[in-house]
Structure 1
Amino acid sequence: MGDESEESWICRKLLNLREVAYQFLKIEVKDGRNCHFWFDDWAGQGRLIDTTGAAGTILLGVQRHAKVCDAVTMDGWRIKGQRGRRSHDLYNSIMAIEPPRPEDGSDIILWRHSEDDYKVVFSAKQTWEPIRPRRSKVVWFLQGVPRFSFILWLAINNKLSTGDRMRQWGITQGCELCGERDETRDHLFFTCPYSYTIWERLARRLVGSDINPDWQWTVQQLQRMGGRGVDPCLARLLFQTIVYHIWRERNGRRHQSCRIRSVGLLIKP
């Protein structure tokens, strides 16, 4: 076992993912002993507590932490019927389900692979696909250059050491490319006249006249282009290349007090 503080940090992170995990889990009820009536998806309607709220325990007469088997007697389901439409519909849907029986064996935990496809086995790929950040295709793709992708990933997450981030350390830092007083990620890419000129001149060849200096808009447009075909691939590669070289040019001017001409090479006739 590792350090106790490290273990507690990992445990906290895992516990924070419970709500994400719930949307992938479904229980195939057998004996009902390992399935929570209110907090597991066993009736095909998600977690029942989310449908009824806390009042549902009173309306149906089933305790908050009851297992599914606790809501069954020898004669079938032991739940209350209600006049309210929502409660009445829920009551009818549960009554239509075959009650659990001890002789049927243990409940089976199923993991969602696609919209209506649940399996016993866990698939990391099928789980990651619906929850992954959609912008990752703009950053990570087969034809990308790793060092370019890394700088773009920092930019996407606004983690580059731009002037607005350095200000919290008492460091005043303007844009080295155009002289703007406040240097931000969105200014650098591509509100800055210097960087926008480069982006506009090169990107127009791939995406036509639909060019915008707004960072968020540009990233969203690249997302909408999809992941297949030559043009989307070239557009993403161009995007990360320009971001990398503009950042490199900016750092060269700031830290070396010189122009390293990396950007100039991109637009050389």
Structure 2
Amino acid sequence: MPELPEVEALAADLRGRLKDRAIVKIHIAQFSALKTFDPPLSALEGTLVDDVTRHGKFLDIEASGIHLVLHLARAGWVRWRDEVPSIPPKPSPKSTLAARVVLDSDQGLDVTEAGTKKSLALYVVRDPLDVPGIATLGPEPMADGFTIEVLARILKEAGRKQLKGVLRHQGTIAGIGNAYSDEILHAAKMSPYKPSDSLTDDELATLYAALRGTLADAVARSTGLAASELKGEKKSNMAVHGRTGEKCPVCGDIVREVSFADSSLQYCPTCQTGGKPLADRRMSKLLK
């Protein structure tokens, strides 16, 4: 799933490609992806792109006062096309294409989603806050106003909730998902199950530095990359996320995983849990 660093870099890449370009047509290939009806999709035709920005994990293409907002979900992406086919795409349940944005000079964007679970969402709105997911976003963790005091308040209000869940909840902190919450907790040397309100002052400072540093480093690595390069950059620089069974780059212990119904987390026992593996009930059931 694209998270804050990738969506930030994707917005920058598209801003350079789209700014002051005319949107000629938008084709919807997966009708379930379009979540709004007013203004209509046709309201974007003939508009000029003014900016491309990010709200949490949402991508916002603003054109003449109308916003095309994309939430790429787990398996969505945006692909640049130097030449758009002259024939509009036909809706097909087997196709990965969700929508196509046709620009002047016959260039454009393909919005795609892999897999069978279709969660990608497109919104055409006059104000980004008309998108429910944006209206309820928590503070941006890379903003100047996201201070250690803000993080302390968030953790206190979360009570005994586990750090992993608090970090990735979009209504609490915007833009951090499954991958970067794993990476932040590994950098902070904290268990994903640690209660949010149990941190000492020193641990709070450590978590704050890990959160800001992990995201800042990822944004810096992604800046200037084309959309086609971002997924590979993200994967290649993960310390624990997606690296089950590999050696931790810090201590050499084996990275472990805890599986859930529709997701999983990865961590290093030596770095994060005092050498003790976390219980993985799903895997235990499979081994019986």
- Regarding TM over 0.5, the answer is no
TM-score by length of 1: 0.26
- Greater radius of gyration (CA): 1
Looking at secondary structure, tell me which structure has more strand per residue.
2
Report 1 or 2 for greater relative contact order, CA contacts < 8 Å, sequence distance ≥ 6.
Answer: 2
